[in-house]
Amino acid sequence: MLRKITLGLALLLALSACQDGRYAGSTRHLAPIPPATLALMSAEGASPADPILMRAYKKESEIELWKRRADGRYALLKTYPMCRWSGQLGPKTREGDRQAPEGFYAITPESMNPNSSLYLSFNLGYPNAYDRSLGRTGTHLMVHGSCSSQGCFAMTDEAISELYAVVREAFAGGQRAVQFQSYPFRMTPENLARHRADPNMAFWKNIKEGADRFEVTKAEPVVEVSGGRYVFDASGDGPTADAVARKQADDERQVTALVANGTPAVRLVYEDGGQHRAFRETMTAAGYGLGEVSRPEALAAGPREVAMPAQRPGATVGKREPVRSTAAPKLPGTGVTEAERRRLLETFAAAGDGRK
């Protein structure tokens, strides 16, 4: 009984944290979980009180909600389309860069904001231990309502109302922190092959280690930081480590085959982030029905694909190729001069290093 009272007090304190006061007194944070979502939980043999886990993908503009079943394994419950995220693919490095973060984060009861000016929100906990180890800066990185983003994940008011309720009930059931895994894209061999020359690839392959452990075990990976890297389940059992290694080796073989078959190396360049196609197809220039939409003009064309230098056969995925001086004819089929391409690549490299 004492433990339940303590948890209840902690949740009440959390619901008063991170408030801007504008909507104090609102009851929107008490909205129940919709019946259809409750039915999905029941079908998986789970209850609202059971732990949850979330995974976000920028390129696909989706957030997955996973629920832990009675056997301890997580099952995919629902996938929410993102209405807006800002910046580019790649991690957040500094305050004001408009980047939505990538990596492994923890949502706590103290992160919940029932009085958010963006309907409802919860803080991802950026910068985490990994970010701090690299001297990265930034505050108030959220998942929230509306369709406006300055480094956050915006989901519309309706979607955040549901997800907020799911998180709230998991905390009420005793979960102390919800793991939020944030990725540039789904870690498929196809995506890895296409983005193999991106300057962020070394970091992406590091967070893929955590993604692979989750895919193999369907259990929340234990996350630590050492030597400027994420370390996952450092004291894990041998059979699990072997299974993860087999998956990683198979993925690498598929990447190698895709590259050998001519999959081009590209970098996606966004005007300023993106949104799920479900919103793009229905959004007017004024964002009708979505509330405020940040920089709608930046969403109109979608990302541009920029060809990256081809790598030598057998080169390490993610290793940056040097930019060589050449004459300035236009590259076949791109309409971009070699000088322009070099300038873009230097900009990309600097952005990946956090220098610009």
Q: How far apart are CA 214 and CA 242, in angstroms?
A: 14
State which amino acid sits at residue 220: E
What length is written for the chain? 356
Report helix angle 157-172 to 2-14, nearest 10.
Answer: 150
Which helix (H) or strand (E) element contains residue 121? strand 121-123
Annotation marks residue 144 as catalytic: yes
Query: Running DSSP on this structure, what letter comes out for residue 297?
Result: G
What pairs with residue 85 in β-bridges? 153, 274
Residues whose CB is less than 8 angstroms from the CB of residue 39 and which lie 6 or more positions away in sequence, other chains included = none
What pairs with residue 181 in β-bridges? 55, 104
Long-range contacts of 176-179 (CB under 8 A, 24+ apart): 176/108, 176/109, 177/106, 177/107, 177/108, 178/51, 178/52, 178/53, 178/54, 178/106, 178/107, 178/108, 179/53, 179/54, 179/104, 179/105, 179/106, 179/220, 179/221, 179/223
Query: Which tokens hold the place of 338?
Result: 């070699």
Annotation marks residue 152 as catalytic: yes
Residues whose CB is less than 8 angstroms from the CB of residue 65 and which lie 6 or more positions away in sequence, other chains included = 52, 54, 76, 77, 78, 79, 80, 163, 166
Q: Which member of 29, 144, 195, 276 is catalytic?
A: 144
Q: Which member of 18, 83, 147, 152 is catalytic?
A: 152
Q: Which residues are catalytic?
A: 144, 152
